[in-house]
Chain A
Amino acid sequence: MKISGSYTVPAPRERAYQLLQDPGILAKCMPGTDQLHKLAEDEYDMKMKVVIASIGGQFGGKVRLEDQHPPESFKLIVEGSGKIGFLKGEGLLNLAANGDLTEVSFDGEVQVGGTIASVGQRLLDTTAKLIIKKFFQKLSEVANN
């Protein structure tokens, strides 16, 4: 599944970039995630509890940051698996300055497997969008504080 879009983060580009590299901030913004434990440089262990309406599931996995070109772009790689399935997402995030704001655009591909892939086709697109939206909403809150 291809995923792309863009959000405006209320922070200058340098700061927006820093926020997006900070495991504490990422953990705060990823829905259902409490914290990220460092496994290696720019690689973190992740536990995520996704609850959307009645659908809920625990995922365990990794978050990795790669190809960093501060403050312009980096690659975000997320891998997770749980009882209801597994996912692997890879996306390129581009940050463009817009005065005091930053336009974050992303373009990536998510592979989903297991039960959610097989029976959740109708829901994948809308729920993925919802999770991303929640992430950026939270990021905006953090940036505003």
Chain B
Amino acid sequence: MIAENFEYSAPTKLDDALRQLSNEDTKVLAGGMSLIPLMKLRLAAPGQLVDIGRIADLNFIHEEGGTLRIGATTTHYQVENSPLVRSRCPLLAEAASHIGDLQVRNMGTIGGSIAHADPAADYPASLLALEARVALVTAKSKREIPIADFFVDTFTTALEPGEIVHAVVVPVEDQSTGTSYQKVLQPASGFAIVGVAARIRKSGGKIAMARVGVTGLSGKPFRATQVEKALEGAAGSPSEIQKAAALVSDGVDANSDLHASADYRKHLARVYTMRALAIALSRTA
């Protein structure tokens, strides 16, 4: 369990880090909860690691113009326990609390997690349901893109060479919105076999807004828009929820592995969508 040789640097300034990313053989280390095991197994062998963990400017959570901006190196533990996240965006705090175990939550970071784009990671479901945006930065430029555009495919993101995640931007939740993240845990790795994030807002006794993000089910996380559409305008009765949730797996090319077949995953997605929706609904004001 020894990695191949690599160069390592730990700049303390963002600019310094970005300048070091010109080489395609360079990987950013942002917690290392996936990268380090891959390197130790020699499945990954980057020539250089730029550890962004010591850049103070990347570790922040602040409220700004109706959004929360969460710096790339903010740990899962910080997200889980931040009073700001818990009150302004409880869904994200709930999702963070489901990641791995305490040790992983103390080391792993939100930027590292989404940049790795593991199809079974916990955050993406919530970030999609939140319609989050991702702030990206290179040595020369900055841009902000919707999270749905960020996740391109299995382990594939919209990050360009030399570009890193600077922050994740989520909306400050309306107090009347009810949210929930429900997850079936893979018993060995702790990754999601299926994870479903739901957000519901009611108005005049009807569901005015429904957002559903799904992880683990297929090659990339996605928003279950057919479920959302089926709910919007409905009263939210158990049968309506069940009917809407049943749509979540339709047309999905589901993952299949040792821990869950494609059919079972699709079934779990339906059940957990139902559960996440029911809990989210119960949390609406």
Contact = CB atoms under 8 A, between A and B. Distances in A.
Do chains A and B directly touch (beta carbons under 8 Å) in the complex?
A: yes
Interface of A: 52-57, 83-84, 115-116, 119-127, 129-130, 133
Contact of B253 (A54, A115, A119, A129): A129
Interface of B: 27, 34-35, 38-39, 41-46, 116-120, 153-156, 186, 189, 191, 219, 253, 255-259
Contacts of A133: 153
Contacts of A115: 41-43
Given A52-B155, A53-B156, A126-B154, A121 B41 contact: no
A119 B257 contact: no
Which of A52, A54, A83 neighbours the largest number of chain B CB atoms within 10 Å of its CB?
A54
Contacts, number: 66
A125 B255 contact: yes
B27 A121 contact: no
Contacts of A127: 154-155
B99 to A, nearest CB: 16
Contacts of B118: 53
Given A54-B39, A129-B219, A130-B155, 18 more contacts: A54-B38, A54-B116, A54-B155, A55-B38, A56-B43, A83-B42, A115-B42, A116-B43, A119-B41, A120-B43, A122-B120, A122-B186, A126-B119, A126-B255, A127-B154, A127-B155, A129-B154, A130-B156
Contacts of A125: 255-257
24 contacts: A52-B154, A52-B155, A53-B116, A54-B38, A54-B43, A54-B46, A54-B155, A55-B44, A55-B155, A56-B43, A57-B43, A84-B43, A120-B43, A122-B120, A122-B186, A122-B189, A122-B258, A122-B259, A124-B257, A125-B255, A125-B256, A126-B154, A126-B219, A130-B219
Contact of B191 (A116, A119, A122): A122
A38 B117 CA distance: 37
A105 B119 CA distance: 25
Contacts of A122: 120, 186, 189, 191, 257-259
A83 B38 CA distance: 13
Contacts of B45: 56
Contact of B43 (A119, A126, A129): A119
Contact of A54 (B34, B120, B256, B259): B34
A43 to B, nearest CB: 29
Given A126-B119, A127-B155, A54 B257 contact: no
A133 B255 CA distance: 14
Nearest to B155: A53
A143 to B, nearest CB: 21
Contacts of B257: 121-122, 124-125
Contacts of A84: 42-43
Contacts of A83: 42
Contacts of B38: 54-55
A120 B155 CA distance: 14
Nearest to B219: A126
Nearest to A84: B43
Contacts of A57: 43
Contacts of A120: 43
A27 to B, nearest CB: 21
7 closest Cβ pairs, A-B complex: A53-B155, A54-B44, A126-B154, A130-B154, A126-B219, A55-B43, A121-B258
A125 B219 CA distance: 9
A18 to B, nearest CB: 29
Contacts of B39: 54
